Amino acid sequence: MAIENSVFDCQIIHFPVIHNRAGNITPVQNNIEIPFDIKRVYYLYDVPGGADRGGHAHKDLEQLIIAASGSFDITLDDGTSKRTFSLNRPNMGLYLCPGIWRDISNFSSGAICLVLASEYYTEQDYIREYEDFKTYKLK
List the catalytic residues. Answer: 56
Residues 77-116 that bind ligand TYD (CB under 6 A): none
11-to-43, 74, 78, 121 alpha-carbon distances in Å: 20, 12, 14, 23
Q: Per rule CB under 6 A, is residue 42 in the interface with ligand TYD?
A: yes
Nearest approach, Cβ of 47 to ligand TYD (angstroms)? 9
Q: Per rule CB under 6 A, is residue 43 in the interface with ligand TYD?
A: no
Nearest approach, Cβ of 114 to ligand TYD (angstroms)? 12
The angle subtended at Cα 41 by Cα 54 and Cα 25, nearest 5°, is 110
Judged by CB under 6 A, the stretch of 6-14, 49-57, 61-69, 81-89 that binds ligand TYD is 49-57
Judged by CB under 6 A, the stretch of 1-9, 14-22, 25-33, 37-45 that binds ligand TYD is 37-45
Cα separation of 33 and 39, whole Å? 15
Q: Per rule CB under 6 A, is residue 44 in the interface with ligand TYD?
A: yes
75 touches 84 (CB < 8 A):
yes
35 touches 116 (CB < 8 A):
no
Nearest approach, Cβ of 89 to ligand TYD (angstroms)? 20
- Torsional sign, CA 98, 25, 33, 91: negative
Q: Per rule CB under 6 A, is residue 121 in the interface with ligand TYD?
A: yes
Cα separation of 113 and 66, whole Å? 6
Q: Which residues bind ligand TYD (CB under 6 A)?
A: 40, 42, 44, 53-54, 56, 121
